[in-house]
Structure formats: C-alpha cells, structure tokens
A and B are shown apart, each in its own frame.
Chain A
C-alpha cells in the first residue's frame, strides 16, 4: 500500500503535465471530425502522444489500414526499448498479468520516472505511478474536445511545447549529476539533429512521422555511450591485470 501511495505521489506531476498536451489532442481531434467520446476513447486505449496525433491525421486523410499500422508502429517503437528496459527493473518472478497491466501505461514520462527509481520497480508502485497520468490524459482530451472553440490557435500552438519541456525537466537534472548521462543526452540530440538536417540522411525524419529518426538516434546514441564505457572498462581491467602480473 505504501508503495502504491508513493507511486501516486510520483505520478501526479505527470498527470498535471499531460492535461495541456491531451487538451491539444482533444482540440485537434474534434477539428478533424472526431466526436469528443471518440477522441477520449483513442486517448484511453493508446496512451501515446505522438502516435495518436499521427494516427488521427492519417485516419482523417483516409490512409489505408497498413499505413496506419506501420506509422503507429514506427512512432511507438521507442516503447519497445522502454519496455525492454523496464523488464530488467522488475522482479523476474512477476506474473504475466501484472506485466500486461504495466505494459499498458509505458509512456515516455511514466517510464522515465520508473527508470529513475534506484531499486527494482514493484507492481503497486507502478500501479500508483500510472493511475493519475491515465486520468489526466483522458480527462484532458475530453476537456480539449469540449472546449475546442474557446482557445485561439496561437494559444493552442503554445501548449504544444509543454510535452517537450517535461522531457527537458526529466533529463537535465540527472545529466547535471552524471557526465555519462550528459554525454548520452548530447550525443542523442546531435544525432537526431543530423537525421533531420543533413541532406540524404534526413529521409529518416520525413518517412513515418519522425519515428525512425528517434529510434535510430536513441539506439545509436546508447550504443556509442555503452561502447565508450566498455572501452574504459577493458582498459581498466588490462591495467589491473598488468599490475597484478608485476
């Protein structure tokens, strides 16, 4: 129970941050012809920001099913990495149904907070963590869908930055503490910019709604940082072996 309450407390800021973003989603969905109930249902079943925005754009444009599935797959492929990462942070004995419930709410922010936990993530903690963000994401969508005519387009646009600034607030403090993390943040950002701006390579960011670019930048970035650490580890081991040989 204690863990559950701790999860709720940790998750509540995410809930607040989700409201402006899902609000924007509700606004856009209604403008595209979805009903408030449909928009809310999409939010409840997907819990995925970028994937949902791309999805409704495709549905509205009359895209074939296969394009919808491929785009959703590519944009959300990062959740595969997050889920894999979380699989290493739960008790190996945890039953499948608990894992299946947790999987539903592996969002960028919920994952980020769960992975910053120093210990293994328990089911009650994750349950508490995901509870209010789910409420915030769905109710924000509904509010935005209902209030779609109250906000000017300029203000709607400005709310779009909220999501990214939450990411910034999640990654900067640990980057300040650890040079390894700072390196990872800089390398991944640099790769992402290369994939967007360098001619020839930038197909990565134009195909599949930007999903390939994020996935490639993240995998390459993490691989580079892990390899740098591996090299350092080997050098240290070689030095230690040399010393013990003397």
Chain B
C-alpha cells in the first residue's frame, strides 16, 4: 500500500521538477538569435515527433500494438484534412474518434 503511494509520489516529483526548473530559474531573455529560433521551433517539433508515426498505432486497445491500424490511418487523414481547413481542436479530435469507430465496425463487415 505504502509502496504504491511512494511510486505515485516519485512520478509526481520527477514530472514536476522537469517542469519547474527551466521556467522557475531562467530569467534572462536569450539574446542569441540561433537559440531564439531553436526555441521557436521546439513546440512544433515536439508535437510533430510525438504524433508521427505513433498516431498510426493509436486506435488499438493498448496503443502499443505492433501493427499500424487501418482505422488510425483513415482517421489521421481525416484529421489532417480538417486541420488544414482550420477546424477547431475538439471538432478534429471528435470526428477522428468517430471515423476510427466507424472504420473498426465496417471492416469486419466488408472483409
């Protein structure tokens, strides 16, 4: 029982320290233009690297199956098209989930 709460506390502590150290202690505005550009690109690069290629595996029950799933590929394509047309976050996410469910239901019927 105690073991579990120690584990939970360690998760919290590790995660929080990572987050608080930079913003808590870096007060100087960085002058170097390369560093400014680097920091400008970081959010786009982090989100993109997190999304691809993992999104293609994301509709399986555990999210870590070894195979790319058809429903995820189709739902991702729909999400990219909707985002290109500047639809909001929630609309994109909800439609993608619905598309994935529909494809999962339709596949066994079709093949």
Contact = CB atoms under 8 A, between A and B. Distances in A.
B96 to A, nearest CB: 4
A137 to B, nearest CB: 13
A219 B35 CA distance: 12
A192 B52 contact: yes
B51 A189 contact: yes
B48 A65 contact: no
B12 A46 contact: yes
B89 to A, nearest CB: 5
A47 B18 CA distance: 13
Given A165-B92, A218-B42, A226-B37, A188 B48 contact: yes
A203 interface: no
Interface in B57-111: 58-63, 71-72, 75-76, 79-80, 82-84, 86-90, 92-94, 96-97, 100-101, 104-105
Given A76-B14, A164-B51, A84 B39 contact: yes
B63 to A, nearest CB: 5
A17 B105 CA distance: 23
A181 B44 contact: yes
Interface of B is mostly: helix
A222 B39 CA distance: 8
* B-side interface size class: 35 or more
24 contacts: A28-B62, A42-B11, A46-B15, A65-B7, A65-B10, A69-B10, A76-B18, A81-B42, A83-B21, A84-B23, A86-B22, A88-B30, A90-B23, A99-B24, A160-B59, A161-B55, A166-B93, A167-B48, A170-B89, A181-B44, A222-B41, A222-B45, A225-B41, A230-B33
Nearest to B81: A172
Interface in A175-206: 175-176, 180-181, 184-189, 191-193, 196-197
